[in-house]
Structure 1
Amino acid sequence: MNAGQQEREQLAYTPEEAAQRLACTESWLRDQAKARKIPWTRISGSVRFTPEHLRWILDHFEVAVRPEPTPKKRRKRASAPKNPDAHTASAGDTPVVSLTAKVPRRRREYQERAAQNGT
């Protein structure tokens, strides 16, 4: 082994050196290590990454190739229940249901109180 190979095969890398080797930012590495999402070691109170840690990061953040999407089968929509009281639209035979608004709670309470006092 020559001196150049020995320099590249360090035992542990600083976050800056590891970021250069992984082509990512140092802050991303520090954030991931702080959140304990990636392996790291503490040497003399400093965060360090071993070559095994770097390989783990590369393996676990690899994006898998997606298979070809299969065409989805269209499901038929359930038809509206037949209601003899429902109106039909002029454009077709689709039933149209008339909706009525709910009476607001305060108005309903006022009407109930007025009915009690009046009778």
Structure 2
Amino acid sequence: MTGTPPGLPRLYTAAEVAEALRCSTWWVQEQVRQRRFPYEEIAGSCRFSAEHYAVILRVCEVLPAEELPTPVREVLPVLPGEALTGGLRPRVPRRLREVPTRTNAA
């Protein structure tokens, strides 16, 4: 659209927006199909205004994540001779367990 009369807003095609965003026309049209980008539909084709382009840039903006403070874990003192396992006890191996013998009461 090269000859826009004065006073009318300039509308851009999906190809022009894609060129400005340095992406494919298909990607811009896919975002429009999925209703992620605002647009004007004129005569069955989508057009974008300068305001739409600004909104598209805001939609695609990725802000840096806030750095959360690392939680400080409390270190409990270990007494001499105390196990570091936290009270876990090993299981007796199956081969060493006593198996009750069956007695035939017949």
On whether the aligned pair clears a TM of 0.5, the verdict is: yes
The reply on whether 1:40 has 2:39 as its aligned counterpart is: yes
Alignment partners' CA distance in 2, 1:60 and 1:46: 21
Residue ranges of structure 1 left out of the alignment (5+ in a row): 1-5, 77-90, 101-119
Q: Which residue is 2:61 aligned to?
A: 62
Identical positions, percent: 31
- Pick the structure with more helix per residue: 1
Give the ranges of 4+ consecutive aligned residues of structure 1 lying more than 6 Å apart after TM superposition.
none
CA RMSD of aligned residues (A): 3.2
TM-score by length of 1: 0.53
TM-score by length of 2: 0.58
The count of corresponding residues between Structure 1 and Structure 2 is 79
Partner letter of residue 59 of structure 2? H
Q: Which residue is 2:50 aligned to?
A: 51
SS in 2 for 1:12: coil
1:61 Cα offset (Å): 1.5
Alignment partners' CA distance in 1, 2:13 and 2:68: 42
SS in 2 for 1:42: strand
